[in-house]
Chain A
Amino acid sequence: MVHDRILLSHGSGGKLSYQLIQEVFLKAFNNEYLSPLNDQAIFHLPTSRLAFTTDSYVVNPIFFPGGDIGKLSVCGTINDLAVGGAKPLYLSASFIIEEGILVEELKGIVNSMAQTAYHAGVKIITGDTKVVEKGKGDKLFINTSGIGVIQQDIHLSPLSIRPGDMILVSGSVGDHGIAVMTHREGIHMEIPVESDCAPLHELVHTVTSQSDGIRAMRDPTRGGLATTLNELASSSGCGMIIRENDIPVKEEVKGACEILGFDPLYLANEGKLIAIVSKDSASVVLDAMRKDPRGKDAALIGTVVDRPQGKVLLETSIGNKRILDMLSGEQLPRIC
């Protein structure tokens, strides 16, 4: 590229836009659907049961320990498809770029997206680029949408949750929130925390192929484990009891939460899975999770109960019970 920084002209639709698309985006994402650079991508799908999702990414800073906004934008959309039982196939990617960002930074992020998509076996097949004036954006915002296919025999829904079911989580909670927050605020940690940002579809495939007792799955992003469980409790009409002592939280995350006044149960995760499974299949699913590197710290954290309906209770580390409410207000802005 001739220029080191993105200029408004890179969004003009003219020569510089063409150069940007050729040298940055197409170079990284190249595939048979994208390369004709049509206004749309045209493709065949092997089934009629599809999952479709979209998400925007505004994380600040755009590079953080364990990932960057590009990796996050691919993983986040893959995960939204995966927790519905879908095999993710195709993504779109739209970029809103602030004038002045270094082309090298943009390339780093785009390559990170390409690598994440390649390893996950998904293709980025259509996209868009806009440039806004300096001060009208904050470096880079990305929107990705995704399409996945669902096998006929997989039917996951909170409406299938029943009292007596078990609640599993695939690993430690709070890593992403603390990684982004401490990096953004320049808080030096003795043991730095890395984001758990990762695609979950392989872990989902592993567990769904081992057991048909999975009722529902979610990835606890913004609002954390506590908020996601409240959403599941509310939509299923069941209650939930989880045990604080059984919820995996890394020591360094616990330490950071104590210092900064955060609760790890409300912090965002970007590579964790919550699964509600029938009582009989809990041990099979837990074993399957633990055999996968993404689920090696998986734990059985609680049970579904009939009341209080739509609420989540926490058995605290000292054994008393209290309500575990949804996140109120904004614990951390622009975390994903």
Chain B
Amino acid sequence: MKYIDEFRQKGIAHGILQKIHDISRKRVTIMEICGTHTHTISRYGIRNSLPPHVRLISGPGCPVCVTSPGDINRIIEFCKREKDTIIATFGDMMRVPGSESSLQEQKAMGKDIRVVYSPLGALDIATANPEKEVILYAVGFETTVPTIAVTILLAREKGIRNLSAFALHKLTPPAMKALLDSGEIDLHGFLCPGHVTAIIGAGAYKFLAEDYHAPCVVAGFEPLDAIHGIYMLIRQLEENRTEIEIQYKRVVTWEGNTKAQKIIEEVFEICDSNWRGIGMIPVSGLKLKSTFADFDAEKKFSLENTANEDLRGCACGDVLKGLITPGQCSFFGKTCTPETPIGPCMVSFEGTCAAYYKYNLSHVLHPPLTPYASS
């Protein structure tokens, strides 16, 4: 079995899209929370294939994008000040501009900043450089947290004392709640992230169906997964059902990965967290437990609070809340492009603006291609 190609078949995709066109009657707005969904939907041109009355908007689901400007400034300030330290970070964080600089610029000026593909890479760096302090710049949602937790547990087990994490982890369900509580957008349902849900379990969204009457479908990230997930959501909305359904059954369960959950609980505890564009959301973040203070960069070093303001005119905050689409930002595609990003949504591979800019035909085709139409 060609495991990738099976989920990218043209005939099946068109069959499901046809079904969506057949059953869809209501004008609805659906939010895909996850940046990887935004990427898939854009990369495969799915947005253009839906009926015009089905609106897909992108949510705060790119870990780089939701990291607050203040938290980016803090690591940059730290990096400017400290010598004999190595910052280990995921690639996308390198280019995110803070108020005055980025990690990429700091690296060009000679600071030791290294890209890791897994948090365990930071452990290797710490082992190889015992004379230096290694700080893992740990951003990410529930999917990334178990690997960070394992890295810290391994560091403790191996007696590696020169590794610490600047933990800025974010939790998905509280952000979804905050968006609905704000009353700023009229949302009819959520396409929920497959891999986050593989960890936390689909049961984590129960309150959205019960208390907010928002149907949810947990979908995978291949194009057929996304199209099928959208179909399941539209079917719920057309049948006036409000349920939590799992499209991504080959990976996601109702309970989630209980082993990963235990590891997270061992190392981290829930805290309030500052999200770009949304602000402080109660119980939406994770910080290291006090028993792991030796591995907590915030306790080990002084990471002073810095300015937490977006660049004037940058609309990333509104994009993250789904209030506007990237094209409605006055910078988009003009001064803000992937080569010269102003806001984080244009930087990250999973950022909404980057996905719209990279794949959307509308800014090069006038008039745009005819959308998929039912025959």
**Which residues of A are interface residues toward B (Cβ below 8 A)?**
185, 187, 245, 251, 254-255, 258, 260-261, 308, 311, 313, 316-323, 325, 328-329
Contacts and interface: CB of A to CB of B under 8 A. Distances in A.
Contacts, number: 66
Interface string B343-364: 0000001000000001111001
B10 A245 contact: yes
Interface in B223-249: 223-224, 227
A308 B366 CA distance: 9
A40 to B, nearest CB: 38
Contacts of B365: 308
A247 B167 CA distance: 41
Interface string B167-201: 00000000000000000000000000000000000
Interface in B44-82: 44-46, 48-49
A161 to B, nearest CB: 19
B359 A323 contact: yes
A319 B95 contact: no
Interface string B364-375: 110001001000
Given A187-B117, A260-B117, A308-B365, A318 B4 contact: no
Max chain B C-beta neighbours (<10 A), residue from A185, A255, A258, A329:
A329
Given A185-B117, A187-B117, A245-B10, A320 B364 contact: no
Contacts of A187: 117
Nearest to A187: B117
Contact of A323 (B223, B337, B360): B360
A20 to B, nearest CB: 32
A250 to B, nearest CB: 12
Interface in B36-50: 42-46, 48-49
Given A255-B4, A308-B365, A318 B372 contact: no
A187 B337 CA distance: 31
A320 B44 contact: yes
Contact of A318 (B2, B9, B42): B9
Given A311-B364, A329-B95, A329-B339, A317 B117 contact: no
Contacts of A311: 364
Cβ-closest 8 pairs across A and B: A320-B45, A328-B338, A318-B13, A317-B8, A319-B10, A322-B45, A322-B359, A316-B44
B364 A318 contact: no
Contacts of A260: 117
A188 to B, nearest CB: 12
B14 interface: yes
6 contacts: A308-B364, A316-B223, A319-B14, A321-B45, A325-B358, A329-B339
Given A323-B358, A323-B361, A328 B223 contact: no
Contacts of A255: 4
Nearest to A309: B364
A68 B349 CA distance: 30
Nearest to B360: A323
B48 A320 contact: yes
A325 B5 CA distance: 23
Given A308-B364, A311-B364, A320 B46 contact: yes
Contacts of A185: 117
B312 to A, nearest CB: 25
Interface in B1-21: 2, 4-5, 8-10, 13-14
A135 to B, nearest CB: 13
Contacts of A316: 43-45, 223
B44 A318 contact: yes
Given A245-B10, A328-B339, A328-B358, A258 B4 contact: yes
Contact of A261 (B5, B10, B95, B349): B349
Given A260-B117, A316-B43, A329-B95, A321 B361 contact: yes
Contacts of B360: 322-323
